[in-house]
Structure 1
Amino acid sequence: MRKFFAALAILAISTFATQAQAQFRASDVCKMKRSQYERDQCLEYGLRGSMLRVKGNTQRLLDSNRVPELEKENILKSHKKWGGQFERNCSDNECHYDMASARNSEIEKIMAKYNVAPM
């Protein structure tokens, strides 16, 4: 019976941790800066780095011979769709940074699937 309760507690903690992590956005780190200038700089640098990773990781997938052609086509389609949302839905660096970070997470999952090393 103890093992059952221990397993139940671990499951509850894992569920809570997963949900808490899902609520975290990349720009939240920048919100902890002391001044508005530091927050703005953090967002700008974070966005630049995320965009470079999006570009580099996407190119690595497209260049890899491990990724099937159909998957490459799907990557390009989803990237085009994401690019439209990126421009249409965001008007500030915070939104752009969060969207770029989310796109990197998507790309890195595909990279892991095909054993392609991310940037």
Structure 2
Amino acid sequence: MRKFLAAIAILSLSTFAFQAQAQFRASDICKMKRSQYERDQCLEYGLRGGMQRVKGNTQRLLDSSRVPESEKASILKSHKKWASKFESKCSDNECYYDMASDRNNEIEKIMAKYNIAPM
């Protein structure tokens, strides 16, 4: 009985931890800064770096001989869809930063699938 209760407790805690992690946004790091100026700088630098990673990682996928042409076409299609949403949905650096981070996560999953190192 104790093992069963322990297993349920572990399952409950791991579920809670997973949900808490899923709600973490890249921009949350910037919210911990002391002043508004530091928060704004953090968001701007995070956005710049995130966009460079999106561009660089996408290019690495498209240039790789490991990635099939059909996958490259799918990557380009999803990138155009993301770029359109990026432009229409966001109006501040926090949103842009979070969307760039989400796109990088998507791209890096594809990179891992084909054993390509991300930026």
List per-residue Cα deviations over 1:20-73 (Å, max 9, x = no partner).
Answer: 011110001101111111000000000000000001111111111111111110
Count of aligned pairs = 119
CA–CA distance in structure 2, aligned partners of residues 41 and 34 of structure 1? 12
Structure 1 position 4, deviation (Å): 2.2
Q: Does 1:105 align with 2:116?
A: no
Corresponding residue SS for 1:29: helix
Q: Could you tell me how far 1:2 is from its partner in structure 2?
A: 2.6
Superposed counterparts of 1:1-119, under 5 Å: 1-119=1-119
Shift of 1:6: 2.1
Unaligned runs of 5+ in 2: none
Flag as ranges the 4+ runs of structure 1 deviating above 4 A: none
Q: Percent identity?
A: 82
| Counterpart secondary structure, 2:102 | helix
Partner-residue secondary structure (3-state), 1:16: helix
Unaligned regions of 5+ residues in structure 1, if any? Answer: none
Instruction: Give the superposed CA RMSD.
Output: 0.9
**Structure 2: how far apart are the matches of 1:5 and 1:65?**
51
